[in-house]
Amino acid sequence: MEPKEAKGLGIQGLVELELKAMEGSALTSQTRTDDSREPAWIEHPSRSLFGLALSGGGIRSATFNLGLLQGLAKLELLGTFDYLATVSGGGYIGGFWSAWLRRNGHAAGQDPGPCRGADPLFPRKPEAPCMGEPCAIRHLREFSNFLRPRSGLLNSDTGRIVASVSSAIIPSLLAALSLLVLGVLAWVGLAWAALLPGRVAWPGGFARGLPWLLLFVPPLWAWRRKRLEARLAACAGLLGALCLRGGLLLLFVLTAVELTQGEWWWRRRELAQPGEDRLSAEGSGAYLLAAVCAVGLTVGFGGLFAPAASAPDVSGWRVLRALFTPAVAWGAAAGALILGRFLFSNLGRGSGQPSWMYGFERAISRLLTSAALWAGMASCWLAGAWLQRKLSGSPLSTVGLATFISSLMAVLARGQKLISHQPSRPALPGKRERWIPVSLRLLASAIAVLLLVGVVALVIQARLHGWLTWLFVVAAAATLATLLCFETTRVGLHNFYRARLARAYLGATSPGGGAARLSGARKGDDLLLSELAVPGTPLRPLHLICCAANDLRPPDPLSNLERGAQSAVLSPVGMSVADEAHVWHPAGTRRRNGGAPTLAAAMTASGAAFNSNMGGHSKRLGSAVTFLMSAFNLRLGLWWPHPTRGRQRRWFEALPIGLPFYKELFGMSRAQDRDVHLSDGGHFENLSLYELVRRHCRYILVSDCGMDPDVACDDFGNAVRRVREDFGVEIRIDLSPLHPGPNGRARQRMVAGDIHYPTGDAGVLLMIKPTLTGDEPADVAQYKARNAAFPHESTGDQFYDEAQWESYRRLGEHVVETAFLPVTSQPDWRMLEEGTRGAALFAWARREWLPLPAGYSDRFARLASRAAEIDALLHAAGTHRLLREVFEEEVFVAGLSREQGDGVRELAARPEALDITGSLWASRQALLFMEEVFLREDLAQEYNHPAYLGLMNYFARWAHAPLFRMWWPLLKALYPQRFTRFLETQFGLAPRRRAEPHVELERDSPAPTGLAMSRWTQERGRLQLTDGARLLSFVHPVRYGDRDVPIQLAQVRVYIQEAWTDGGLAAWDASDFFVPPGFWGSGIGEAFLRALVRFPEWGNGQRHLGPDTRVSRLAVHLHGSTNASASEMKREADEAVLYRSSGFEEPDGTERDKLYAMRRSSWGRRGQPGDYQCEGGKCPCLWLVRSVAASPGA
């Protein structure tokens, strides 16, 4: 049964309580009153939130991030952050800081406001008993080898490790083996029952003919479907009850149960979604028919293949036939159904696959699965019998087999550990890492089979020596004890690891913890997670401990994209799994009634990289790895009640406390179950960036300390994909400066990027990674010289010595100081108000550390040289006015302006002819420079990069000069649309004028005064207008200041035909639609055509077009040629696209013939150039027409 879901808080309600905790307000929670689905993330935060993310990476991450926190504390920046999100090793030091704030900083009730370094935010004060440094830091230094603080084989720490491992492995292994013994005994019982002599009560001939008879049942179902399902089911039950006995009856029951239960589970999982009723109805009858056929076929083939009771046993052949009879029967039945599916595949209508086939496919797959499982178990039985004979007389052989299995298990654990420490690293093609998961999967399967064979040998040995009953009793008792008494969080390595973290990291914050030298756990080390939130005391930063809620068997595997886990968070306020959340119960002391785990337990779960359930890794490695890791209790994870499902259960449902162990054993953990299995947050996302983005933090500082010797930033790539897929948030950042160059040094220690939320909001992301740039302290450089893998040594190394620990700590401190010191040392920093320092910190750091575009340094000299050339143009003759418009301050500084009454300064005179002429050439050259920079530097994407701030300001000066803006509508035609669109978008160059471009009718004989007419006259001679011809001009105003200057940019000669369908016709030849060269492709032709369509004179008669002429139809004749070149064909296609995009279409046959006739009779006598012998369909010429509506005043 699915656990009932409580409404809970939802992520919105949880974040509201988190913000209250930051302010020190009381946490009064209210559950949702409706069932509406809230967004999975915070779309509109109430204020700007700052987040600090410390990634996973074991003690390497904890130590590096300790230095990072110390550096931020020195620069008085720790108070900036609202959230502290941690994963794994980052959680070690994050837990230390949170506990220290609770016990030393917040205990006094002081408010650590933003950027207030005087408040106790981090241990900084040196203390004499601790060698001149804070005792808490000294404690961390002494426990750098936190798993075994005191070295040596014969000491208490080593003994504690051995005892913990032994007490973890022995109970869980016994529990797993007991379950295997019970499973083998159950199979033995079924196999023994199947070996009973059984026959069909009717004559043997009927038994042999039954399988073939059932093949003809599908046609009956095809002809008569009404109520046939119920009749077939009744017949099948009657057949089993009356006709069978012995082994065949058992085979009948097994088949019926498998097919029934399999279909029930399938429908529960696949058809649980709304809207699946139709599919369910289509497949139900078909599956029932297939199941009845399968049962009958299985019984029939079982009767044929089973050995006779009186048959002699020749070399064990009878035993083999008996063992494999069920498998062969199921396989043969599946083959018969496949044959029937083939023979009747033509049944059904339509081109798709008939619905009845899906039911048959499900039945076939379950028969084949049953056959494979039974055959595998039978094979293991034979192998176990052979092994029992070999080992029965040799105890040393038994010891050798156990040693061999243990050795294989050690290899498996080592491989599992390597993979778990690189949670986001993908397989590399052509590398050996590609085969590690495959090898581990094969190795685990081999070990699991060996264990099963060993259990079979044990069962056979017990049967031969008469203690099989005692074996069953012991196994059953052990399984029952496991269900009732096995507390997964206390019997295992989780308890040991939690105690070590509490002593090493939380013990440093307890009173006297720094001076104590006890390596064993102390009562005062740990504290409840909910105790971090003190009523009335602001909780900043609020600690988010990120884990992975394993989801290996979700109801719908596609719903979690085969990730194998969902994000889970444990915080002082409450717990969340995905977007479901609930607050800790104020009086809850036990986890079943809403109590919180301890801080050390949460840290251990978040750092449970070595675990049986590891999210997507477990899905890739297979169930055998999961089984063995659980059986040997190689697990650090934590089972905890689901925030909304885990609190509503009856007493008997909570009784089997060991049930989670068996779920873990068989990989049945689910993120939406009553209990969720929490493991390393890196099994979902290793940076803890995901949960900060979910909370819509605008400013995030990420410390990426995962093991990344190739600096491929796998963890970051995984986080970017997850936030895009789940929240629609895009992160743009260039990580290349973090990559080491040929000398092994990186260009930068920190990089900056942008966070783009789908609501239109934008934020800043700063990312720090352990890198070496060449200016590290001497001791860090020396350690690097002796350890080539530094600073990315294996996460599996959790035993740091003094030099290793101090090198990572000092590197973290050095990186932060050198990254933020250029920001905090600016003179304006101390002048900022406390409430604005956080945003200013990220904004200034973004300008400082946003990586330069690739190759920018090499291109800078060219850019500077070209800019100097453009500046020189402003000092040439005729450009002095443009100089003052581009550099307006020059007017004020030089005193070349006059005061106006309102105090506004402006140039003394309008531009003269020399100013206009000179500005045209200068503007043209400036645009060429802008285009070059736009293309070279990809400004369409990088325009907001700090490196281009000066260039963008320089462009803005030009773009806002009145003379430049005057020429822009004319010059833009000389440049690509992508470039002109960029300038218009960024600098508001879109025309702002009083008069819009419009069409004017030339009422007199045209004179070569306009720009278009002047160019026409130069190219074609004086334009002649005969009777019926009119000249329409496209007038485009350009603006200087507040004055519009009209310019004729295009023209067309049209012929008016008064008598046409429903009004007059205005027609023109495509060659008479004239846009001067130099303005092509700038949109002038499209604008002119749109203006022609809307020309108000078309519908106004008795005016300038002619007496009683109301044009309702426009027509254009497009030239074509059968011998056109490629360029001419391109021109013809462009013309057709131009007109079609404005609503012109081909006329019908009647109108086309009229147009050709009009052209031959009228245009030929009126000087229209071209070949007038074209007739419809006999040349590639084309007519296009469209209707125009009369104006309201017509």
Q: What is the pLDDT of residues 661-678, one digit of tens each?
A: 999 999 899 988 889 999
Is the pLDDT assigned to residue 84 strictly greater than 90? yes
Backbone angles phi, psi at 805, to 5 degrees: -65, -45
- pLDDT at position 1153 is 86
In the Cβ-directed half-sphere of 107, how many Cα atoms lie within 13 Å? Answer: 10
Instruction: Show the tokens assigned to 62.
Output: 């904890």
Q: Give residue for tokens 């009749």.
A: 231
**Average pLDDT along the chain:** 80
Beta-bridge mates of residue 150: none
929-947 confidence digits (pLDDT tens): 999 999 988 898 888 888 8
Answer yes or no: are the C-beta atoms of 750 and 766 closer than 8 Å: yes
What is the pTM (predicted TM-score) of this model? 0.78
> According to DSSP H, which parts of 887-961 are helical?
889-894, 913-936, 939-942, 949-959
Superfamily assignment of 998-1187 in CATH? Gcn5-related N-acetyltransferase (GNAT) (3.40.630.30)
In this prediction, residue 770 has a pLDDT band, given cuts at 50, 70 and 90, of very high
Is residue 262 helix, strand or coil?
helix
116, burial (CB in 10 Å: exposed 0-12, middle 13-18, buried 19+): middle
- pLDDT at position 242 is 46
Instruction: Show the tokens assigned to 293.
Output: 């056929």
**Among residues 1064, 1070, 1073, which one has the least CA distance to residue 1028?**
1064
Beta-bridge mates of residue 54: 86, 703
- Sign, CA torsion 38/39/41/45: negative
Pairing type for strands 638-641 and 675-680 reads antiparallel
Count of residues for the chain? 1194
Cα dist. 711→112, 714, 769, 771 in Å? 36, 8, 9, 9
Q: Encode 1033-1047 in three state secondary structure.
A: EEEEEEEECCEEEEE
**Among residues 273, 258, 463, which one has the least CA distance to residue 381?**
463
Beta-bridge mates of residue 574: 583
Q: Give residue for tokens 């440049």.
A: 975
**Among residues 709, 700, 708, which one has the least CA distance to residue 733?**
700
Going by the DSSP 8-state scheme, the letter that residue 350 receives in this structure is: S
- The answer to which of 837-846, 885-894, 1042-1051 has the lowest mean pLDDT is 885-894
- The answer to which of 532-541, 936-945, 1024-1033, 1147-1156 has the lowest mean pLDDT is 1024-1033
- pLDDT at position 501 is 92
Is the pLDDT assigned to residue 746 strictly greater than 90? yes
Is the pLDDT assigned to residue 729 strictly greater than 90? yes
What are the extents of the domains in the chain?
52-119+689-851, 195-378, 856-987, 998-1187
**Residues 1048-1069 as b or e (16 or more Cβ within 10 Å = b):** bbbbbbbbbbbebeebbbbbbb
Conformation bin of residue 246: beta by default, left when phi > 0, alpha when psi is -120 to 50? left
Is the pLDDT assigned to residue 597 strictly greater than 90? yes
Is residue 259 helix, strand or coil?
helix
d(CA 288, CA 218): 11
Instruction: Show the tokens assigned to 1083.
Output: 């949109």
H or E stretch including 701? strand 699-703
In this prediction, residue 886 has a pLDDT band, given cuts at 50, 70 and 90, of confident
**Among residues 715, 716, 723, which one has the least CA distance to residue 757?**
723
Answer yes or no: are the C-beta atoms of 655 and 649 closer than 8 Å: no
- pLDDT at position 785 is 93
Is the pLDDT assigned to residue 1106 strictly greater than 70? no
Answer yes or no: are the C-beta atoms of 176 and 630 closer than 8 Å: yes
d(CA 652, CA 674): 14
Between the ranges 26-40, 213-227, 394-408, 552-566, where is the mean pLDDT highest? 552-566
d(CA 816, CA 1181): 73
d(CA 369, CA 294): 13
- pLDDT at position 68 is 97
d(CA 899, CA 99): 66
d(CA 1043, CA 995): 10
- The answer to which of 92-96, 466-470, 1171-1175 has the lowest mean pLDDT is 1171-1175
Pairing type for strands 1043-1060 and 1029-1040 reads antiparallel
Is residue 741 helix, strand or coil?
coil
Answer yes or no: are the C-beta atoms of 42 and 11 closer than 8 Å: yes
Q: pLDDT > 70: what percent of the chain?
A: 77
Answer yes or no: are the C-beta atoms of 763 and 689 closer than 8 Å: no
Instruction: Show the tokens assigned to 609.
Output: 């990289």
Is the pLDDT assigned to residue 199 strictly greater than 60? no
Going by the DSSP 8-state scheme, the letter that residue 509 receives in this structure is: G
- The answer to which of 258-272, 360-374, 419-433, 744-758 has the lowest mean pLDDT is 419-433
Instruction: Show the tokens assigned to 682.
Output: 């890196």
d(CA 397, CA 760): 70
Cα dist. 761→577, 616, 702 in Å? 26, 32, 20
Q: What is the mean pLDDT of residues 384-389?
A: 84
At residue 378's C-alpha, the angle toward residues 372 and 383, to 5°, is: 125
d(CA 451, CA 1051): 92
Answer yes or no: are the C-beta atoms of 569 and 53 closer than 8 Å: no
d(CA 993, CA 969): 11
* Distinct helix (H) and strand (E) counts, the chain: 37, 21
Is the pLDDT assigned to residue 174 strictly greater than 80? yes
Instruction: Show the tokens assigned to 476.
Output: 């059953």
- pLDDT at position 417 is 55
Instruction: Show the tokens assigned to 1084.
Output: 């002038």
d(CA 1111, CA 1028): 13
Residue type, 73: A
Answer yes or no: are the C-beta atoms of 59 and 92 closer than 8 Å: yes
- pLDDT at position 1108 is 58
Is the pLDDT assigned to residue 1176 strictly greater than 70? no
In this prediction, residue 754 has a pLDDT band, given cuts at 50, 70 and 90, of very high
Q: Encode 1122-1147 in three state secondary structure.
A: CCCCHHHHHHHHHHHHHHHCCCCECC
Q: Which residues have CB under 8 Å from 740's CB, separation 6+? A: 711, 746, 771, 772
1156, burial (CB in 10 Å: exposed 0-12, middle 13-18, buried 19+): buried
Is the pLDDT assigned to residue 398 strictly greater than 60? no
